[in-house]
Chains A and B, each alone.
Chain A
């Protein structure tokens, strides 16, 4: 196995309060073939936002893929999306942002329309294969 170019180096960030999911998610990505993957996780949106704020001027620090859960303490995923808009995290919005939630309620589906920069809404559970595919194709 040989490491590919810099292009195949992918930074992935997950914001989810569920510890177990964070571990599964991280494990799933470790197993992507032919890619160098760096996974960062935060257990709530506030911590994530603090990271982005701290690295606002450092484009390289931004993840290529951002997965955000909806139902979290202190701040929901949707509220975090509002923050991205309100605090002008423009560069981040150009990245691949996904909502990742177990909710299938129409309420949440409707929210999606408010944020055109979100790539898609992914329902939990996910399997490694579709996650790998997602990363490959975006």
Chain B
């Protein structure tokens, strides 16, 4: 075909089209481009490639496959047009520089021109559309991926409740076959209590443009006992449908129920316990407490929430409490029990057994303490009473032992000191009646014996009075005053013997019988002065030992052989030293005085070196 023909085609067919947005070109059966407009020239990038003269041989076309990959396409002319077909909006791509593609909508039509069959091709730029399509397809693919990764089922449902579409990863999740529910109304498929609520929420989601949710239990036998959560999401700028996402929450529901039961069990155990219980925060403020606790401590729940536990703990017990809490915080123990005193609202302390345990979250952070408190003041008091009774028993036992010893001793006194004179009297009477001789002498002896007996009885009764009389009057006695008084009585003796007497009183005073204390000091000082061969040195001291007042009288006298005499030392009418004026009453008497007031007397001595008497009051 000559140039004139082309111009003719152009003029007649193409250039006549004014305001074209489409590229137009005429191609003969062999692919030769006979005519083209400028838009076609642009779209096919002919300016950059002036050798593109034949549509079949000079172009490579591309297309996008199902996987959104670009691959070479067959030339539409070869494939379709040569066979006389026409094409409508086939999309093909043309490669530009730098891997850019121009996508072209391709429409063809057969025309007759001067008895020659020509192909009229219209092209429009669909690059933008193609890009959108690809992006959309990619998004859809992502969505598919997303859906397949979920166990949820996503439905599209109309505002009237018709199921329009669905996505699921596993069709087993569906209650019905797709054909049985698509385009069906929710009311036909679900019981009214589910469908009505769902419809209500669908309307709400649309009107409020906000997500709604509900839970329901499976109404169908194939999914027995399953629990589902429904999320109803409005679709942006859409008023006639929503997305409905169904999730299986059976496991969570079961867990929730278990937790709920456990929580209930704890709440019941906490609130209805007979033990006072409190949840306190880490600082010790009560978060909650039960009725029993408020009854034990007298504070209301509100009071306890405003105070830390140390505010109502005995100051001496705070450290104990702190130590336990620190051990719990350091994971040294799970829980611990202490006995501590709480300050009751009514203003007194009460003994409680407190068991404290620490609650931690899953990150091992301390959350709160559980404190359980039992009032043990009664038990404590009973214990104290028991101890007091035990002490009393112990004291009674000791007193009884003393009494038994004293009784044995009196038995000895009767055996030796009373039977002696009495047997004398009996013998004398016997002699007087059987013999006529020596009567005067016997009468004299009888008189003497009688006097002897009376003296002994008098001495004994002094001691017996100590035993039987009420406790002596106790008064505050100053050791220094009484010692001074006694020393004055021995003034001449002290001077005669050149005695040195020293005193040291760590304890100044004692509540005691003044008469007894005078008797004790008189007898012991008298002994120290009496049983000595060299100038006596006597030291008198008082001090406290194991909470008891001790009086010591230390001398440098002749001493006594304790191995031999210790057993008899404090007994009635026992005399150990020849050549001294002794009656054997002194030590016996003061021992009874001391014992009658609950004390004791002991002795240490080395013959020739001295004696120490030690009185424990």
Q: Residues of A at under 8 Å CB distance from B?
A: 18, 20-21, 23-24, 27-28, 31, 44, 46, 70-71, 73-74, 79, 101-105, 107-108, 124-128
Contacts and interface: CB of A to CB of B under 8 A. Distances in A.
B207 interface: no
B575 A70 contact: no
A72 B448 CA distance: 19
B576 A73 contact: yes
Contacts of A104: 415, 419
27 contacts: A20-B421, A20-B452, A23-B441, A24-B424, A24-B427, A28-B427, A44-B578, A71-B415, A71-B416, A71-B417, A73-B573, A73-B574, A73-B576, A74-B577, A101-B415, A102-B415, A102-B416, A102-B422, A103-B419, A105-B415, A108-B415, A124-B419, A124-B420, A124-B424, A127-B434, A128-B430, A128-B434
A125 B584 contact: no
A28 B4 CA distance: 200
Contacts of B441: 23, 27
The residue in A23, A24, A79, A101 that gathers the most chain B C-beta atoms within 10 A of its C-beta is: A24
Contact of A71 (B411, B420, B424): B420
A99 B165 CA distance: 133
Given A21-B424, A102-B416, A102-B423, 17 more contacts: A18-B420, A20-B421, A20-B449, A27-B441, A102-B415, A102-B420, A102-B422, A103-B415, A103-B416, A105-B412, A108-B415, A124-B419, A124-B427, A125-B422, A125-B430, A126-B427, A128-B431
Chain B: interface size category: 35 or more
Contact of A74 (B421, B426, B430, B578): B578
Given A31-B435, A127-B427, A20 B445 contact: yes
Contacts of B452: 20
Contacts of B573: 73
Interface in B394-420: 411-412, 415-417, 419-420
Given A102-B416, A103-B416, A127 B575 contact: no
B473 interface: no
A24 B582 CA distance: 25
A14 B313 CA distance: 81
The 10 closest A-B pairs by CB, nearest first: A102-B419, A73-B575, A71-B416, A125-B423, A103-B415, A124-B423, A125-B426, A125-B427, A105-B415, A102-B423
A13 to B, nearest CB: 19
B438 interface: yes
A74 B561 CA distance: 11
A18 B430 CA distance: 18
A24 B431 contact: yes
A74 B578 CA distance: 7
Contact of A46 (B434, B445, B574, B578): B578
B449 to A, nearest CB: 5
Nearest to A126: B427
A107 B416 CA distance: 12
Contacts of A27: 431, 438, 441
A21 B426 CA distance: 11
Contacts of B578: 44, 46, 73-74
A46 B579 CA distance: 12
Interface in B482-500: none
B416 A73 contact: no
The residue in A31, A71, A108, A124 that gathers the most chain B C-beta atoms within 10 A of its C-beta is: A71
Contacts of A124: 419-420, 423-424, 427
B419 to A, nearest CB: 3
A103 B438 CA distance: 28
Contacts of B431: 24, 27-28, 128
A45 to B, nearest CB: 11
Contacts of A70: 416
A105 B417 CA distance: 13
Contacts of B416: 70-71, 101-103
Contacts of B575: 73-74
A83 to B, nearest CB: 11
Contacts of B564: 79
B373 interface: no
A104 B435 CA distance: 28
Contacts of A73: 573-576, 578, 582, 584
The residue in A20, A28, A44, A74 that gathers the most chain B C-beta atoms within 10 A of its C-beta is: A20
B538 interface: no
Contacts of B354: none
Contacts of B415: 71, 101-105, 108
B77 interface: no
A64 to B, nearest CB: 23
B428 interface: yes
Contact of B424 (A20, A31, A101, A128): A20
Contacts of B411: 105
Contacts of A28: 427, 431
Contacts of B582: 73
B201 to A, nearest CB: 109
Interface string B426-463: 11101100110110011001001100100000000000
Contacts of B435: 31, 128
Nearest to B416: A71
Nearest to A31: B435
